[in-house]
Structure 1
Amino acid sequence: MTVELRHHHDVEEVRTAIVDIHVEVRQRDFGLVGDFYSAERFSDRLSGHSGAPGWEAVIAYDDGEPAGFAYATPLGPKTRWWSGMNTPLPNGYTEENGTRTLALNEIVVRRTWRGTGLAHRIHEDLLTGRTEERVTLLVNPQAGDGKVQAVYERWGYKKIGDLQPFPDSPVFAAMIRPLRSTLGTPEGTRA
């Protein structure tokens, strides 16, 4: 397996690959259906995320074939990221200025490459060179019977509460960690 990671800052160059992988994995592999998981709704969310300053994606290519991706956006002062939080957080915790917190909006790896460590490799490559203090993500605690959340915990993320970003979305576990983590992925726990 010869995997190349490429950084992208123009969503239109990679929109089709990102949406196609998302639909393949979320709908076909994981059976997530409904309007929230439709290609149109995901593409709309992608447009919203990528329209913010600092948006960046990393796509993994194996011999030219997209194998997975991750993308992230810094949270600006008027972010709605924290507005669906169901858990009280300390004063100031959700104050954003565009340089404090990076939101890892999506990380998705196609079936053939799962379990190879590619997700972690994409994740770490995306964070390399970023200057934010911390990184946050949302994970469905039911995904993989909790295994997906456990992977993020091994990567250094801690759950800070529950968040429902849209009325028709699942309630996600909101997780956060310092941008720079000294944690690796121990052998046998790859994603």
Structure 2
Amino acid sequence: MTSPAALELRHVRNVEEVRQEIVDVHAEVRHRDFGLTGPFYTVERFNERLTGHSSALGWEAVVAYDQGEAVGFAYGVPLGTKSRWWTAMTTQMPEGFAEETGSRTFALNEIVVRKTWRGTGAAHRIHEELLSGRPEERITLLVNPAAGDGKVQAVYERWGYEKIGEQQPFPDSPVFASMMRTLR
């Protein structure tokens, strides 16, 4: 294993170039490492969400490689003017908060790193690489507050995110903490 600084980081805008790598890493981490089960967490459902996310205008991913092997990824998309992102909020938001322009908010849909790379700084490096050069004002993400017994949410807080409420985007998904960080 090389240091996180030595990882090869690749920006991708065509999901088909990396779909299988993303699906494989996601399945390994979510199922084997975290033991997440149920219909929402199946590989098929994740692949469907990946297809939906990657079909949106402006989708981008960063995949990290160590000697040619994918060790993690992050991807997201700018929220368009007709985005449904905020409709699943269970928390009342201030007036105008959910108004999107297509360049106001970047939604981080997924960030996943293989077990041997967790705690090394690799996830933060992938995250910051994805955000480097983004023109949006802010970034939002959803995190299962139970993930890692709250440790995952705590990582995002250390990275500058604040919890702004909760949302449940799918009937069979967990209730996620909705988090926000200023980019500009």
Aligned-pair distance for 1:56? 0.3
Q: Which whole-Å deviations, capped at 9, do the CAs of 1:31-70 have from their partners, x for residues lacking one?
A: 0011111111111111111111110000000000000000
Normalised to the residue count of structure 2, the TM-score between the two structures is 0.96
Match of 1:146 in 2: 150
Task: Pick from 66, 78, 81 the counterpart of residue 77 of structure 1.
Answer: 81
Task: Pick from 100, 106, 110 the counterpart of residue 106 of structure 1.
Answer: 110
Cα separation, 2, equivalents of 1:129 and 1:55: 14
Aligned-pair distance for 1:79? 0.9
Aligned-pair distance for 1:3? 1.1
The reply on whether 1:63 has 2:67 as its aligned counterpart is yes
Aligned pairs (5 A) from 1:1-191: 1=2, 2-180=6-184
| TM-align CA RMSD | 0.7
Q: Which whole-Å deviations, capped at 9, do the CAs of 1:112-159 have from their partners, x for residues lacking one?
A: 111100000000000001100000000000011111000000100000
Aligned-pair distance for 1:171? 0.2
Aligned-pair distance for 1:30? 0.2
Aligned-pair distance for 1:83? 1.1
Cα separation, 2, equivalents of 1:97 and 1:156: 23
Q: Name the SS of the counterpart of 1:170 in structure 2.
A: coil
Cα separation, 1, equivalents of 2:111 and 2:77: 13
Cα separation, 2, equivalents of 1:142 and 1:14: 29
Structure 2 residue ranges without an equivalent (≥5): none
Paired residues in the alignment total 180
Cα separation, 2, equivalents of 1:167 and 1:84: 10
Q: Report the identity percentage.
A: 71
Which letter does structure 2 place at the counterpart of 1:72?
G
Q: Name the SS of the counterpart of 1:108 in structure 2.
A: strand
